[in-house]
Amino acid sequence: MTRQRMMLGFGALVWVVAIGCGFAYLFNYSVEAGTPASAPERWPAASRMQAPQGAYTLVMTIHPQCPCSRASVTELNNLMVLLRHERVKGYVLVVKPADVPDGWIGTESVRAAGRIPGVDVIVDADGVESARLGAATSGQVVLYDAGGRLRFAGGITPERGHLGDSAGRQRILSLVRTGTADGQGSLVFGCDLGATICPPRPHPGTSGL
């Protein structure tokens, strides 16, 4: 076999492997959901954020360095635009470990969050607030109604780091507009918040104190 044919044969094999294994790997990564939140059923009384009063409260937790946060924040922006005529108050909790410099949270996703109308950005030192809401994955969204009851806990992106409509967005819109939805959760796609949360996350079923 000539050297040319060997090179072409090698190239063909690499091509097939790159396509088959590569797209399978990317696909599996993009649909691999993160750990869901164990959000308390009632708004945590100890929270620094204002308790829901006559309006829905939507809180998104993000890891500032996670690339997937960018898509989550963009989708939050889209969602808040769609909800602009509804009574919804939004927060973005930016998790910051105690031992990292301030610049660690100076990322584009945090800046983008600050530009969303109707949303306040809160630096969550040591992930305390996020822990109260049971968040484990960047991009986690929780929605509490005017009475402080949990109505939704999940993500609002269709895949990891991907923009687009999602089951989460549809359910939140339905809940706020009509009070009902076909589900109260959705998959969350993002990086693990991991050791940024201190103290440890509460066990599911607690009242979130």
Partner 1 sequence: MEESVSAVMRGLGQNAAGRTDVLYSEHLQARRARADRMFAVLMLVQWAFAVVLALLVSPYAWAGKTREFHPHLLAAIFMGGGIALFPVLLAVFRPGRLVTRHVIVASQMLWSALFIHLTGGRIETHFHVFGSLAFVAFYFDWGVVATGTIVVAADHLIRGLLYPESVYGIPNPEWWRFLEHAGWVVFEDVVLVWFCLSGLKEIKTIAARQAQVESLKESEEAKSAALEMVLREIQPSLAGGAH
Residues that bind partner 1 in the complex, under the rule CB under 8 A: 4, 7-8, 11-12, 14-15, 17-19, 22-23, 25-27, 29-31, 63, 65-68, 70-71, 97, 100, 138, 158-159, 161-167, 170, 191-197
Q: How far is the CB of 197 from partner 1 (least distance, A)?
A: 8
Least distance (Å) between residue 47 CB and partner 1: 22
Alpha-carbon distances of 26 from 29, 161, 186, rounded to whole Å: 5, 12, 21
CB-wise, 57 or 130, nearer to partner 1? 130
Q: Which residue, 61 or 166, has its beta carbon nearer to partner 1?
A: 166
Comparing CB distances to partner 1, the nearer of 57 and 69 is 69
List, in sequence order, every beta strand (DSSP E) within 75-175. Answer: 88-96, 119-125, 140-144, 150-154
Edge-first strand order for the sheet with 150-154 is: 119-125, 88-96, 56-62, 140-144, 150-154
Under 8 Å between Cβ of 172 and 79: yes
CB of 33 to partner 1, least distance (A): 11
Residue with tokens 């402080």: 148
CB of 161: closest distance to partner 1 in angstroms? 4
Q: Retrieve residue 42's tokens.
A: 């009632």
